[in-house]
Structure 1
């Protein structure tokens, strides 16, 4: 979006040279590598494994983390990268989020020095892939009710349970698995192919088709004593990682929204109806303006949260507000953009309906609208309303 047309508020002027350069680098990659291929990947329900190494080379895997081969970029830079990748497809941004904000963050924040050295450099390069196994078939929004258990033995741990909707599990080299112990909920690193681990991809899907989600079962999986993440105890461990992922979603959703808007704007400028372009009709202009207003507001919100995060002042309820607003509005924008495309909008030649389908998943994972509403409700009233 240029300042003279779609960036009405000139939000680019709020970004520094390094931030703009990083954004352009990721945008170029998205335009050249993702957009020409995403319709085929989406239709075939394929996530190309080779993208992992490319995204590592691009510097977007664990990009907010310091040391151990990680890029060490700012929160705003990470957000800008998420926005550009999701302008390509939510599934691609989800890969970066699961790898960096969830799996790598868990190891970086809560792992031992040996675990960090073993996994993080090669994960940052995209040579190894990680997943984050928290959600269960009956424990999505309420992870405190998880039933997966880890029993300590004389020679380590024994893990039992089932996890569901686990991104990247079928291609992961290491799984960050959360389970209940006698000391509360703890995290464990489970190598791929460990005896007793079975992984089944969830398909067919109507959303996130260029991504991977799985059900994972752990049946008497034996782990070494040092498989545990020593620094994580209780739900604070996984929640700290979820907040990193939610923050990226605040930005990413605006990428999907912007791409949907730009698709509709371009189409409306060239599609003739009753002898004039669709863009020349008042109803179409109203739709485009409403989309743009929400994109500019949502991007400004994301940038504000990024500045707070870089200053060390970002609070969970602020992330909830960003995730709730931006995904909700992005979904509305993608649907409205499809309406401008008419019947042509239901084909994969155009991105808005694909974005809308993907955003149905984004709206659900990392906290539903209802969960983030209750987080904010508790913050403003002081009363928790999650139960009863």
Structure 2
């Protein structure tokens, strides 16, 4: 029995590490900021941003970017004379149905391009107004409709926001007072317009700008911040090497799909089926709980990897979270089993079985409720808020995983000490030692 539990414990630890990886979130601690030097010479950044001044050196020097990204340095007051943008963008086929965007996704233009600075400047002259007056001083509750009407559907409110931020040299966009804007959507965009270099990723520099979701094929509502990546001259949700990193992501996700699938087969053949047969014969149904949870976590693990290739970020989040939750409950259930066993050996009486079921049940219900709360919160707010909520959900699960690991380690040590008092089981042969490793 001890060897059987030891083998089971190795599978749980292996899967637990795999599940934590599947969250696939990159966290870098913010460092102390230092003053940045901005170039005053007009320079082309990539192929699309031309005649740019007051830009940071990390847009043209990858080494400087790597030094500054860990400090989460500000973007700086960059202004350009010409900015070439696409009118519509397309999401790659693996993400065609995506509602939320994964870091590996990238976009490319599918229609004609246009010069952002020249286009909006012409309309400023025609309308005898400025982007500041139109965006910040307007009394309109629906600026998007108004701008499309007065510009004959030639421009969008997102074009004017990008223009104000990157083209008007006499305006410091980030210092404008946006609290008087009546259009809630526009106020939200301006308030949360990215100003840190880490927004577009930690692999290479990127310039963020906002587009309407109707500018992205198959996306019809809301807005999204995407990036221009000057090192390789492409547009993407993040600057991670475009198609090259997409290929790496597919290979990596396929590898982890295989790991979970193989683990599922091993667990079913070596643990679940034999344990189920014994449990039903002896009517000790509790003994089947841990292998069942392991199998459920492995199934969710496979679904996580499949969803990361062909599904939405919401599906990835739900499946990966369930993977960690089932693994965590399996660990707790395993602990409760051994606590009951040791209690029986030491006290010569059984621990009330209801407690053994109650603890995993409370943990399961609590984590499910927390996850559902985050999911419903994601569905009730805007796109960018949704991404933040998904991020918070990842933090929640990582915290839960760390907490379970700490509690599990402490309990395992206690179990091992007690086990030594009631038996001659060595450290090497104890399943507790496998879990501690």
Fold match (TM-score > 0.5):
no
Structure having the higher strand fraction is 1
Structure having the higher helix fraction is 2
Q: Normalised by the size of structure 2, how large is the TM-score?
A: 0.28
